[in-house]
Structure 1
Amino acid sequence: MNHPQAPDTTARRRTDLVRPPLASGTRTSPKSSGRAVPGTEWMDREYAFHQMLHPRTVGVRPDPGRCLMLRRCANLRQQLASLRAKGRVPRVCLYALTTTPEAEPPVRSLEEARAFAVRKGWQVGSEQVFVDHTGPTHPDHRPGWARVQRQLQSGFADGVVALTQATITPHHDEYDQQLRWCADRYVFIALVHPEIAAVRP
């Protein structure tokens, strides 16, 4: 006696394992039960490739010095472009530090800052040189830097040239405040030696 055969479910099981391909420019979100997110499939590929190369990498914190440098340079380019459009040559102050209030002016630092400005084609007035000693670290507590700010705010100068970031302040938060102050008044800070030594100004 022939027994009735059970229906063949192999083909159906295989069919269930095969999903139709998604439309071009879509990806499947793992939490969306197959719903497609348009235009982001490249993110999945790049993330998978990055995880393959760096399986233990969770995230890299941006270097604060580089972020500040990029912000300063962006403002510098913007202000120089604005001055060129007006047919004006940038006028700059020079700013440097001495070791003590009684010390001689930092001639070498000022000469290097002046040479930098001359190479850029900027004007430096004879009365546009300001010096502080290295005591107070916050720029707001330095009389020389206060005079620089008055020159910038009153329109007698378009920017200030210093040797390094540490000449203005070694602290990132204080330096960030000075960059914002300058950007808000459409003036700039230029450094002979940029915040990141590997990058040329």
Structure 2
Amino acid sequence: MTTTRTVPDRTWMDRDNRLAASLDPSYRRPPRPGLWLKRLREQGNDGALNEFDRRRVRQLRLVAYASTLAGADAERDGDLARIRVMVEARGHFVGHFLSDQLGPQEPTRRPGWQEARRLIQQGFADGIACLDRYAISANNDEYELEVRWLAEHAAPLLLDRHEAAT
């Protein structure tokens, strides 16, 4: 008795990509996720900063946010001080300093990040500044969701090291 084995069709991804490209002419797969996330963040920042520049009533108030390893202190390690220096060099103002311990939970479950979002929603801060994207999340999907949330609230996200560099 002979058994027949079917070989899985591995070309379905190529067909799916061609279909997506034919339906949306602007569709392009990002060659590097870091570069794509950088562009996404910069687009959101451009909109937020242009709106803020148009109003021009005061300095941009930012939340300095850092993630630290378990048992470490962002203040002692100098992360928050480096963020403050970066923000002030760009002509903005740090109004709040927040940090969380780095862990497996998504950003919206961290108390410091929740507080940063609340400050933006209630108008006490205009945006967030971090050393790099990993302070928010190493997961591309989680990071993208946070960048989109900030863009929807016209809140810039300033990074010392951009996404494509890390």
What TM-score does the superposition give when structure 1 sets the normalisation length? 0.64
What are the equivalent positions in structure 2 for 1:67-106 lying under 5 Å apart?
67-88=36-57, 89-100=59-70, 102-106=71-75
* Residue 160 of structure 1: how far off its partner (Å): 0.3
Q: For 2:81, which of 103, 111, 136 is the aligned residue?
A: 111
Residue 61 and residue 164 in structure 1: after superposition, are their counterparts in 2 closer, same or farther (change >3 A)?
closer
Residue 132 and residue 60 in structure 1: after superposition, are their counterparts in 2 closer, same or farther (change >3 A)?
closer
Name the SS for the 1:196 alignment partner.
helix
**Which residue does the alignment assign to 1:31?**
none
Q: For 2:102, which of 134, 139, 144 is the aligned residue?
A: 134
Q: Percentage identity across aligned positions? A: 31
- Paired residues of 2:44 and 2:148 also in contact (CA < 8 A): no
* Residue 134 of structure 1: how far off its partner (Å): 1.0
Q: Does 1:157 align with 2:138?
A: no
What TM-score does the superposition give when structure 2 sets the normalisation length? 0.76
In the TM superposition, structure 1's runs of 4+ consecutive aligned residues that sit over 2 Å from their partners are 59-62, 102-107
* Residue 91 of structure 1: how far off its partner (Å): 0.7
What are the equivalent positions in structure 2 for 1:1-201 lying under 5 Å apart?
61-88=30-57, 89-100=59-70, 102-107=71-76, 108-125=78-95, 128-197=96-165
- Paired residues of 2:30 and 2:36 also in contact (CA < 8 A): no
Q: Deviations over 1:89-130 (max 9, x none)?
A: 211000001222x433344111111111001111112xx110
**Which residue does the alignment assign to 1:27?**
none
* Residue 60 of structure 1: how far off its partner (Å): 7.1
| Greater RCO (Cα-Cα under 8 Å, separation 6 or more) | 2
> Using the alignment, how far apart are the partners of 1:149 and 1:139 within structure 2?
10
Greater share of helix: 2
User: Cα RMSD between the aligned structures?
Assistant: 1.8
Larger Rg: 1
How many matched pairs? 137
- Paired residues of 1:137 and 1:170 also in contact (CA < 8 A): no
